[in-house]
Amino acid sequence: MGSFIPPINFSWVEEDLYRSGVPNELNYPFLEKLNLRKVLYLAPDELPPQYLNFLDDHEIELVPVGWNSEQTPWIPISEEVVLAALDVILDTANYPLHVMCNLGRHRTGTVIGCLRKLQQWNLTSVLEEYRRYVGGKVRLLNEQFIELFDVDLVRIPEYPPPWL
């Protein structure tokens, strides 16, 4: 029997919604068990060809958010990027869904923090979850971004996930 090793900073966020850093080949057997439909990728770095092959072999769609092919290729985390990410996260047709960035810390943590605000978590709990994944590398600007994020800008779909 093979071993099942989750990617760095992997966690269950909600039913059929997961978060982590970029997986490596040791993580593929674990990821297969999730039966993912889509991967929301929030980082500017190219993904390893082996991982792209894994996604292709398992018919998992890669959804990069934060790219703008007409101007600078990468847009730093911004209200527009978070809103685009939340559009993907709130669409249950994308589930099971895996949200990730390089190490599953800052970009992923900021998006998930804004999701938690949308779920009406108290700010202390939201920031505690963010800090759990960043370790000693807390970015105060990300925490401030989460705190000031206006959830009224989020487009709630007609059929939102049951946990919202």
| Residues with catalytic roles | 101
Q: How far apart are CA 118 and CA 126, in angstroms?
A: 10
**Left (φ > 0), alpha (ψ -120 to 50) or beta: where does 52 sit?**
alpha
Distance CA 156, CA 67 (A): 23
The 8-class DSSP code of residue 25 comes to G
Q: Cα(157)–Cα(94) distance, rounded to whole angstroms?
A: 13
- Cβ(17)–Cβ(40) under 8 Å? no
Q: Where are the alpha helices (DSSP H) in 24-161?
A: 28-32, 49-57, 79-89, 106-118, 123-134, 140-148
